[in-house]
Amino acid sequence: MAVENETALVLFSGGQDSATCLAWALDRFARVETIGFDYGQRHLVELSCRENFRAGLGRLRPGWAARLGEDHIVDLGVLGAMSQTALTREVEMAMGAEGLPNTFVPGRNLIFLTFAAALAYRRGLKHIVTGVCETDYSGYPDCRDDTIKALQVAINLGMERRFVLHTPLMWIDKAETFALAERLGGPRLVDLIVEETHTCYVGTRDTRHEWGYGCGQCPACELRAAGFARFRRR
């Protein structure tokens, strides 16, 4: 059911999780805007997937096309320059000494959500949707439920505004994320996610797998491939 007269802002990277969150928001809110971030990521190709996916959603369901509002791209190149991780420079992906993968970009989700809230503040929006998850993920601490809850409190206090941070994928794995997409938009939405979203950390779209495009070997590809396989076995 749509929330009457309410607009949501979705953090939409161009990947599977945020694409599913965009469909989730369109199914619930009267209007939905999107925001993406260019932070010098190796898989910058994900940003170029966003337009095709948004257009595909409109063709999939005319009602969604009517609800889909503006798209915003924010340049956060300084984040990539400061972080020096395997997501922002050409180095081998591996576990770091602290027990976190070196694909972890410190502060990324904290910064993304703070910038999203600043935009929401200016545009008079209350609802912010993000695809973070601590069920089937790479161990990033800024994806945890406690982190998001704490950040919501901090943002609301710091901006003197009531924001709600929605995390529809927090307690489901990749297979269940594909299943959620199927419930929201049927097999055609699953096909659109497979064809028009990008998850691979390396950024390659040269090889098409049954679950989508990617190198097939990086942590993001492995999670997506395993999730899709479990989804198909249901």
pLDDT, tens digit (0-9, with 9 covering 90-100), for 55-103: 999 999 999 999 999 999 999 888 777 777 756 666 665 666 676 676 6
206 φ, ψ to 5°?
A: -80, -25
Q: CB neighbours of 49 closer than 8 A, spacing ≥ 6? A: 14, 196, 197, 198
pTM of the predicted model, to two decimals?
0.93
Q: How far apart are CA 73 and CA 54, in angstroms?
A: 14
Q: What is the rounded distance in angstroms from the CA atom of residue 232 to the CA atom of residue 207?
A: 20
Q: pLDDT (tens digit, 9 = 90+) per residue, 129-178?
A: 999 999 876 678 999 999 999 999 999 999 999 999 999 999 999 999 99
pLDDT at 1 over 60: no
Give strand pairing partners of 209: 212
| The two structure tokens encoding residue 179 | 């299943």
Q: Which conformational region is residue 83 in: left (phi greater than 0), alpha (psi within -120 to 50 degrees), or beta? A: alpha
> How would you classify the pairing of strands 212-213 and 208-209?
antiparallel
Whole-number pLDDT of residue 135: 86
On the question of pLDDT at 200 being above 80, the answer is: yes
Q: Which two three-digit tokens encode residue 207?
A: 């090889």
Share of the chain above pLDDT 90, in %: 74
Q: What is the pLDDT of residue 24?
A: 97
Q: pLDDT > 70: what percent of the chain?
A: 89
Which CATH architecture does the domain made up of 3-198 adopt? 3-Layer(aba) Sandwich (3.40)
Q: Residue 52 — pLDDT band, cuts 50, 70, 90?
A: very high
How many helices (H) and strands (E) would you count in the chain?
A: 8, 7
Question: Please, what's the b/e burial string for 122-141 (b: 16 or more CB within 10 A of its CB; e: otherwise)?
Answer: eeebebbbbbbbbebbeebe
